[in-house]
Structure 1
């Protein structure tokens, strides 16, 4: 049964989407360990208070999925003190993201919602099919006991982090529907912040953008994960074979990763 986690044990001042990806039951009745892998939104703005909280989680490695430009422009000075080893493994290069003109169209265009859905489907497809070398790097990184506990993050902790977290949970044997519910918890974590952002943006855009359009763009949507998952299952039959055949990860590494994450 899926266990909902809506509260963070140690609250943060600048992180809204931090959580443990463990604590879920697998199809064979085992449990994903807690305290091994965490996911988060952008940590570049963390305070000294937040840093103390991260240290309490005993995190050793931080895996940053943002583009090189994002990594350089929003770099945390606090993290420069050497408490953690930081690896920048971008799932997308700058050109695969949306341009300012595209974002304007997503929000204000007559068919902006459909354009955003099309962009998002391509965005997820690129992660799954074109970023296989990066996925290999990430899985190899977290399959080493000396690197755990580890934190995986991007900007919002929604899409890039959501996809990688889902792949890892599926590798551990968590049923897909439980993985989806965990993926959608981003919307619970961002709920109060999202309401504030929507209210502010409604005023800033002179009420030209509907709340529904904003939610479509800002919230996690299972449609994109579902589509990618179906494609991978049709092609490979299992996440393990996808990681082995498409991403080039040795089966012994996958087994090691899985055993490290299960109790």
Structure 2
């Protein structure tokens, strides 16, 4: 009788749906850092890194990405398993118009964005080639462009509106800077943060970032498309990801971190004095997003 009961129990277990915890564990095992998306570019988990005081940044709650304009139906169904609550889109008005995020509308996720012109803010840096030489000026300016969204992002994290993903077009400059700031306040070492920043060159899929848009035609009405064409001069098709290093081997991110240290003394002080978050808020972030 006991044997029959055991067999029945095993049969029932085999056909019992996965619990939420089981499903979440299975989902976490579906990727190491970069999510397996057909139409994604640089969509990855910010978590998993060790902190300098012996903690680990929690996986599965904070993500970063490039433009999500090419996500397939299968991609959207995969991402919906995470039950994302917030998308923070750092892109300018021109970028969002050119490469819309269909997943956000499809899944009815709360989107944080802001109308501004990236092209206008970059004009004083000269042409595309000059811009690449002037990253010491460009990178701190990028931070100024995204500060309103950055404030909202941190507020959403404090309110537990997660999982959350933040993105720009390539997922490396504005997004890379944001990831670096968050990882810094969570206690990750600078060496690890720089390593994470440089992964974008490996993880980007530039064709997916452009979503099959005809840039030549789009450039008739869209200034960001014109800028992209200038960057791609001499290349056929989507360009390869550009290096995030100066010719001397210095990561562009260094310029922003150096500027923050010079102006505020530390990233934590920048969060407090410029973004308006208290030391208690920073401690709350650490308590919520690391273990």
TM above 0.5, one fold?
A: yes
Q: Which has the larger Rg?
A: 2
Distance 1:72 1:209 in 2: 26
Structure 2 SS opposite 1:218: coil
Q: Could you say if the C-alpha distance between residues 98 and 155 of structure 1 is closer, same or farther in structure 2, counting changes exceeding 3 Å?
A: farther
1:127-180 CA deviation, whole Å, 9 max, x = no partner? 3356433322221122221x1111111111010110101100001010111000
- 1:135-146 → structure 2 map (5 Å cutoff): 135-145=150-160
**Structure 1 match to 2:69:** 44
2:274 to 230, 246, 249: 246
1:28-52 CA deviation, whole Å, 9 max, x = no partner? 1111011110111111221111101
2:285 to 253, 257, 261: 257
Distance 2:89 2:205 in 1: 24
The TM-score, its normalising length taken from structure 2, stands at: 0.69
Q: Which has the higher contact order (CA 8 A, sep 6+)?
A: 1
Determine whether 1:219 maps to 2:243: yes
Per-residue deviation at 1:9?
A: 6.5
Bigger shift: residues 147-156 or 232-241: 232-241
> How many residues of Structure 1 are paired with residues of Structure 2 in the alignment?
233
Q: Could you say if the C-alpha distance between residues 193 and 57 of structure 1 is closer, same or farther in structure 2, counting changes exceeding 3 Å?
A: same
Structure 1: give runs of 5+ residues left out of the alignment: 1-5, 107-111, 195-203
- RMSD across aligned C-alpha pairs, in angstroms? 3.2
- 1:69-80 → structure 2 map (5 Å cutoff): 69-80=94-105
CA contact (8 A) 1:91 1:160 kept: no
Per-residue deviation at 1:79?
A: 2.7
Determine whether 1:171 maps to 2:166: no
Per-residue deviation at 1:90?
A: 6.4
Structure 2: give runs of 5+ residues left out of the alignment: 1-30, 209-228
